[in-house]
Amino acid sequence: MLSGLKILLVEDNAIVRATLVLLFETAGAEVIEAGTLAQARDILGLRVPHVAFLDVDLPDGKGTELMAELDGVGVFLMSGSPLPENLDRTRYVEFFSKPFRGRAAIMQIDAWRRDARPMSAPVVPDARTAGRLLRSTLASSA
């Protein structure tokens, strides 16, 4: 159902992140994981996803801060807390209140995909960004 989509998943809870990775990969998507805003920004320096699935409350800030950096990307938000009322509704596709049904997320992403613009192209990183991402990846896997 999500075949060919690249999803940037930004979630600090490792169990929730692993569950969503399994859910999205089973549906055919390629998932790029980040646990913090900093990791997400490093990834965005290397790759442009088709979809961003962002936790609102992260250890180093709000996932909503990334929305300005995601032009042309389908942004989906999730949180265990209520969504701030002053958030610009035109900047995201859907909000999911945790806990939510995984099937509902897949269906919403698929519906967005059918209505979305053409898929974005990958970004070629500069050497500094590539090195920073590599160091971050190696440090998190150690």
Q: Taking residues 106-122, what's their average pLDDT?
A: 74
The pTM (predicted TM-score) of the whole model is 0.80
Q: What tens digit of pLDDT does each residue of 10-41 get?
A: 999 999 999 999 999 999 999 999 999 999 99
Rounded CA gap, 80 and 56, in Å? 9
Q: Which domains does the chain have, with CATH numbers?
A: 6-130 (3.40.50.2300)
Banded pLDDT at 108 (limits 50, 70, 90):
very high
- With 0-12 / 13-18 / 19 or more C-beta atoms within 10 angstroms meaning exposed / middle / buried, residue 114 is exposed
Asked if residue 93 lies in contact with residue 108, where contact means CB atoms within 8 angstroms, the answer is yes
Rounded CA gap, 17 and 72, in Å? 23
Averaged confidence pLDDT in the chain: 87
